[in-house]
């Protein structure tokens, strides 16, 4: 696994993430919004690893461990999808957290179709 860090302006963060995710050989991009999101970005990487393990053929995933506030996650028909996870915090309690995956329209449709086939949810 190879990891790289590309600083970009906040206004083009998701566009840059989707651009990077579309490059040959790139499996996934974690959107990191600065020092305040460090723990959230680490969590996003863990969830991302689980998503890639389940769907090993998947490439170009874009995830964000923190809030999507201020990011245009719906540009060009993209759909933000929340993955709810429980984190064992300080060795004492399970705490709910949310990791966002921003999907291109075609990936979102495939995801919804799989959920319907598995009986995990209805079409919104």
In what helix (H) or strand (E) does residue 98 lie, and over which residues does it extend? strand 93-103
Which pLDDT value is given to residue 24? 85
- Is 124's pLDDT higher than 70? no
Q: What is the pLDDT of residues 85-117, one digit of tens each?
A: 888 887 888 988 888 889 889 889 988 888 888
**Which residues, 6+ apart, have CB-to-CB distance to 67 below 8 Å?**
none
- Is 40's pLDDT higher than 80? no
Q: What is the pLDDT of residues 54-83, one digit of tens each?
A: 665 566 788 888 888 878 888 889 999 888
What residues does each domain of the chain span? Answer: 10-117
- Is 3's pLDDT higher than 60? yes
């Amino acid at each position: 696994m190879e990891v790289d860090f590309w600083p970009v302006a906040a206004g083009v963060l998701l566009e840059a993430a989707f651009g990077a995710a579309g490059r040959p050989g790139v499996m996934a991009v974690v959107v990191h919004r600065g020092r305040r999101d460090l723990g959230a970005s680490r969590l996003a990487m863990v969830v991302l690893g689980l998503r890639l393990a389940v769907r090993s053929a998947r490439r170009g995933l874009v995830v964000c461990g923190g809030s999507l506030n201020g990011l245009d996650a719906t540009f060009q028909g993209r759909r933000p999808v929340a993955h709810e996870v429980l984190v064992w915090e300080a060795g004492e309690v399970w705490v709910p957290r949310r990791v966002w995956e921003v999907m291109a329209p075609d990936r979102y449709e495939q995801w919804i179709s799989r959920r319907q086939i598995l009986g995990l949810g209805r079409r919104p």
